[in-house]
Amino acid sequence: MTDFFKGLSQVKYEGPDSTNPLAYRHYNKDEMVAGKRMEDHIRPAIAYWHSFAAEGGDPFGGRTFDRPWYDKGMEGARLKADVAFEFFDLLDVPFFCFHDVDIAPEGATLAESNRNVREIGEIIARKMETGRTKLLWGTANLFSNRRFMAGAATNPDPEVFAYAAGQVKNVLELTHELGGENYVLWGGREGYETLLNTRIGQESDQMARFLTLVIEHAKKIGFTGQILIEPKPQEPTKHQYDYDVATVYGFLQRYGLEKEVKCNIEVGHAFLAGHSFEHELAVASSLGMLGSVDANRNDLQSGWDTDQFPNNPGEMALAFYFILKQGGLGKGGFNFDAKVRRQSLDPADLLHGHIGGLDTLARGLKGAAAMIADGEFDRLLAERYAGWDTGLGRDILAGKLSLADIAARVESDAINPQPRSGRQEYLENLVNRFV
């Protein structure tokens, strides 16, 4: 036991009336919602990077946090792992996620870096054997080191592609050995700063080649988890290729990979793409691409990716509506890709952020389940599209009528459509009734 969280004990559910700031008021892991335990719906995960590797820096200033594992190399990495697993237990959350560089320091060569990751991976494996924490997903950081400044898979230099491949092979194998249920690829530098030095078509082919290699290797080692792409339109690069779900789907289809990969959708990334979070979920779900979620929120005034903890139950209710409608997230879950603010220095602040986030998700889940159980929402939607189930609508969709046939029908049946209310305000009030 370290003394990092001294004085703090495991967070418990105490119900909505509790005034204990270190208790869950809505997240009650064993509570049954729509036939399943709350924890099994949400499958919450803690992001190793934000909670343990981040230092509180922003573009105008560096480290504000003071953690005993900073600047201590492998010894620090071992302490960090101890503290991380104590934190998972404190929050009683079933999953975590990591990048290679979160868990172990980079060495002078790829071989040394990979060895460091493997050494800490061994420690993590032992902790996972005795505890209840599982791995939601692993990933490689292919964006922080300066070698990746012009991209990893999309770099003009094939040696950078090769280096990135060597890194991914190592983390994918470790993810597999740790029983990880997903492997994530977020293309943080897969994009461009200026078209003046960029060949878009060439970079697209490189990205597809890289992804194909990852998919092939996953199959070769027997990894049965999902491969997920995490869309984001910009930041750090001015333009990122995995812009949003629809763009990712088009890319995958172009290279025949759409059956192999799903999306990990992040709330804040959806906003940066000019969409709502629900939009991205709905699009992904309609394409069979909704794999997992990075839960957070952006400060909507700032226009960048602030990675704050979710605190909007209404937004989460709509999110869970689409998730419940597709029968859940399967191997995916809700990873808190969220960090405490740079003034939130205390270990307890890490707890407050996650407690609020989990309570928000729980309220969203319960709201969506109640909305579906009530049935009015689904009934109104079915009614709005009912014309497509029979007669003219069904014949059009089935391809039974040509453009000329349809035009003739309008004349022969004297079709004169009458607009109907979209009832948006009524629907918004209906959703609020369940949150």
- Which residues sit in the known binding site? 230, 266, 269, 294, 305, 307, 337
CB of 266 to ligand XUL, least distance (A): 5
Nearer to ligand XUL, 203 or 294 (CB): 294
Q: Binding marks (x or -) toward ligand XUL, 330..369, rule CB under 6 A? A: -------x--------------------------------
Binding of ligand XUL at residue 322 (CB under 6 A)? no
Site for ligand XUL in 19-78 (CB under 6 A): none
Q: Which is nearest to 429 in space by CA: 371, 359, 356, 385?
A: 371
Residue 99 bears catalytic tag? yes
- Identify the active-site residue in 26, 41, 50, 99: 99
Binding of Co ion at residue 203 (CB under 5 A)? no
Binding of Co ion at residue 86 (CB under 5 A)? no
Residue from 39, 86, 266, 315 in contact with ligand XUL (CB under 6 A) = 266
CB of 308 to ligand XUL, least distance (A): 13
The site that binds ligand XUL (CB under 6 A) totals a number of residues, namely 10
Pairing of strands 95-99, 134-139: parallel
Distance of CA 228 to the CA centre of its chain: 9
Residue 108, CA atoms < 13 Å, CB-side half-sphere: 0
**Segments in 232-297 forming alpha helices (H):** 245-254, 267-272, 277-286
C-alpha distances (whole Å) from 25 to each of 35, 358, 368, 421 are: 21, 9, 18, 39
Nearer to ligand XUL, 26 or 190 (CB): 190
Binding of ligand XUL at residue 186 (CB under 6 A)? yes
Binding of Co ion at residue 181 (CB under 5 A)? no
End-to-end CA distance of the chain: 40
Residue from 139, 175, 182, 237 in contact with ligand XUL (CB under 6 A) = 139
CB of 140 to Co ion, least distance (A): 14
Residue 239 bears catalytic tag? no
275: helix, strand or coil: coil
Please enumerate, by residue number, every residue annotated as part of a binding site for Mg(2+): 230, 266, 269, 294, 305, 307, 337
| φ, ψ at 366 (rounded to 5°) | -65, -40
Binding of ligand XUL at residue 92 (CB under 6 A)? no
Pairing of strands 226-229, 191-192: unpaired
Site for Co ion in 329-388 (CB under 5 A): 337
| φ, ψ at 97 (rounded to 5°) | -135, 150
34: left (phi over 0), alpha (psi -120 to 50) or beta: left
Q: Binding marks (x or -) toward Co ion, 274..303, rule CB under 5 A? A: --------------------x---------
Binding of ligand XUL at residue 100 (CB under 6 A)? no
Contact 26, 359 (CB under 8 A): yes
Please tell me the distance from the alpha carbon of residue 192 to that of residue 203, in angstroms, as a whole number.
Answer: 10
**DSSP string computed for 131-170:** SS-EEEEEE---SSSGGGTT-STT-SSHHHHHHHHHHHHH
Binding of ligand XUL at residue 242 (CB under 6 A)? no
Q: For residue 237, what is the DSSP state?
A: S
- Identify the active-site residue in 102, 242, 244, 359: 102
Q: Binding marks (x or -) toward ligand XUL, 211..240, rule CB under 6 A? A: -------------------x-x--------
| φ, ψ at 182 (rounded to 5°) | -150, 160
Contact 315, 362 (CB under 8 A): no
Please tell me the distance from the alpha carbon of residue 157 to that of residue 322, in angstroms, as a whole number.
Answer: 41
Q: Which residues participate in catalysis according to the annotation?
A: 99, 102
Q: Which residues bind ligand XUL (CB under 6 A)?
A: 99, 139, 184, 186, 230, 232, 266, 294, 305, 337
